[in-house]
Amino acid sequence: MWSPSPFITEETRQNVCNMAVQLAKSVGYYNAGTVECLVDKHQNYYFLEMNTRLQVEHPITEEVTQTDLVKAQILVAQGEELPWKQEELKQTGHAFECRVYAEDPFHNFRPAPGPVVEQQYPHGPGIRLDNGIFKGYNIPLEYDPILSKLVVWGKDRSEALTRLKRALSEYRVSGPKTNLYFHLKAIEQKAFIEGKYDTHFIDQYLEEILKIPEEGKSKALMIAALTRYLLDEKKQGLSSSTSDQKESSAWLRAGRLRQLGN
């Protein structure tokens, strides 16, 4: 998700916002809500649905408007007034959000439950991570496989996109399969960079997005082997409290990686 849209005009944006307010007033709705629309190539917009709550994409709105929508929602629920007026809200910069899922893009994005072995978070200017997992957490099969929301802000679309690419390249989750690689390659597509895409983007570019360079395959195999070893070690309940055991584990890891390298 991203905000603001690189396609719709300011006039279209204002028309959609006015329609959303009229809709809420017509049904007597008072509190946080999300109105969704589809826009065609001629800037015609069509009402899709209204959700009577904040949605998972709300952080990008918070980033470009410098507001706390969750706090505002709670205040209104308590009978208090909103802390701002509509005319006081101004958009500044550009924000992207990637939903990081425990899923396998190479197998039709099917869920990939299991334990989180290790993870490395991205940091730096404009980076926000709404995280919901930790080392040792077991991702269940019964619920939505979302792990976190990676949100970036920049003074313009180009800066935000550069920060997003860096953040995705630094983000690591070992154990379950994730869609981090999919996100990283999707934002590298020329159509995405130029903002020239529509709802058919994934269908059009999925094959190109999931194409792994030859030099990256051996690295992926090495990472997979090490992850598998760590999982096996955990299942067998091996202790690493002594230096001998630590040294043995290190040699085992090195031996498996050398085998793959050959």
Active site residues: 53
Largest alpha-carbon pair distance within the chain?
Answer: 72
C-alpha–C-alpha distance, residues 152 and 62, integer Å? 11
Measured CA to CA, the distance from residue 101 to residue 148 in angstroms comes to 7
| Phi and psi at residue 202, to the nearest 5° | -65, -45
In degrees and rounded to multiples of 5, residue 240 shows phi and psi of: -120, 35
